[in-house]
Structure 1
């Protein structure tokens, strides 16, 4: 499958509207973030170096078939994949794998630009089994888990992770963390804690605009440490 990959940037938003339509059609409103979050993250990418943000779209025969967004977190040399969306008409044709490979290559370039030899890890969030209610939702959940595991990710075990409130309801959402370790050494739990801290600050504070006190409250619920997220 020949795919043409293009990046949406804050200065070049030609494909943004079409990509957001695919995004809105792929997720229920309860889990969708406002479009302003994408725009703010794109804007941050121009000023938060060496941290980065990527909004990658894939086209085949002028049809949008894939969308991947991800942050590069320089302090922990880790990529954080936020969304991976594929056109439902062409799923199960290797598109998801190609999308992962493409964003991984870009995150690897970010790592080198930040002064590292290679990217250490890639992390992402997935729903827990308790979040699904119907048979179809459960099947989709299992498929996503198997997909990530086939592509080198494994679930971080014995780790309470909460996605901070992305809506005004103030509700934390328990999620699984899946991580792909690209370094030769096994990631310790202390290193995963540092990655989560970087996710909270770069994605959820700078990108989503969630207040510091809200993030500190969510962070403290995970029993990771007592220190303020925003203190060095």
Structure 2
């Protein structure tokens, strides 16, 4: 299987509509952002270097078979994967791992451009089994978690992680937090907390424009220090 990789950027939006049609079909509404958030993320990427936002798409022939999105956060030297999709028809051919590794490669490039030798870690959120509505969704959730574990992501269990609500009037969303260590040293609890703070500030506050009181309350509920969160 040969995959041709491309990137969606603010200056190259030709594949965005196709990717978002797939996005609307495959992701649960609770964790599905509005389409304008992707445009805001791409705009943010252009004007906030060395921070970055990557929107990777993969094609087999003319068919889009995968995509993945992620932020690079220079202040903590961490990548944050937001979404990853692979076509179930070709998933068994290692497409998920290829997509994940290709996105990680881009995030490592961002780390190098920011002056680091290597990323510290890559973080992602994923649904818990409690979120599912059917037995099929439960099995998909289990498979997804095992997939991340096979790719060296470990569930971080030292915090009851919450994603701030993506939709007006909704509640915080309990999710699993997975972390892949890239450097030799383990990422400690303080570094994880700092990474979460950075994610909440850059992604959920600046890009998603979630109210800062909601952001602060979500962090407080998790026990993450939010002192001076919005001062820089």
Measured against the shorter chain, the TM-score band is over 0.9
Mapped partners of 2:55, 2:43: distance in 1? 12
1:64 counterpart SS class: strand
Partner of 1:225: 225
Distance between the aligned counterparts of 1:222 and 1:228, measured in 2?
A: 17
Question: 2:30: which partner in 1?
Answer: 30
Which portions of structure 1, spanning 4 or more consecutive aligned residues, are displaced by more than 4 angstroms?
none
Secondary structure of 1:88 counterpart: coil
Q: Note if contact 1:22-1:87 (Cα within 8 Å) is conserved in structure 2.
A: no
- Inter-partner Cα distance in structure 2 for 1:130 and 1:94: 27
**Does structure 2 retain, via aligned residues, the 8 Å contact 1:67–1:84?**
yes
TM-aligned CA deviation for residue 226 of structure 1: 5.3
TM-score by length of 1: 0.96
Kept in 1, the 8 Å contact 2:162–2:173? The answer is yes
**Count of paired positions:** 232
Displacement of 1:131 after TM fit?
1.4
CA RMSD of the aligned region, Å?
A: 1.2
Q: Which residue of 2 aligns with 1:162?
A: 162
Matches within 5 A, 1:45-60: 45-60=45-60
In structure 1, the residue matched to 2:82 is 82
CA distance in structure 2 between the partners assigned to 1:109 and 1:34 by the alignment: 28
After superposition, where does 1:56-71 map in structure 2 within 5 Å?
56-71=56-71
CA separation in 1, counterparts of 2:177 and 2:205? 19
The Cα shift of 1:31 comes to 2.6
Deviation of the 1:184 alpha carbon: 1.0
SS in 1 for 2:47: coil
SS of the equivalent of 2:92 reads: coil
Aligned with 1:92: secondary structure?
Answer: helix
Offset, 1:73 = 0.7
How far the C-alpha of 1:169 sits from its partner, in A, is 1.7
Q: Which residue in 2 is equivalent to 1:91? A: 91
- Aligned partner of residue 69 in structure 1, secondary structure: strand
In structure 1, what is the equivalent of residue 40 of structure 2? Answer: 40
- 1:80/1:124 contact within 8 Å kept: yes
CA deviation string 1:153-182 (max 9, x = no partner): 000012121100100124101111100001
- Equivalent residue, structure 2, for 1:182: 182
- Offset of 1:134 from its aligned partner? 2.1
Structure 1 contact 77–121 (Cα < 8 Å) conserved = yes
1:128 partnered with 2:134 = no
Which deviates further from its counterpart, 193-202 or 122-131? 122-131
Residue equivalent to 1:209? 209
Q: Give the Cα–Cα distance (whole angstroms) in 1 for the partners of residues 172 and 150 of structure 2.
A: 29
**Aligned match of 2:106:** 106
Corresponding residue SS for 2:72 = strand
Q: Secondary structure at the match of 2:46?
A: coil
The alpha-carbon deviation at position 76 of structure 1 amounts to 0.7
* Contact 2:197 2:224 (8 Å CA) reproduced: no
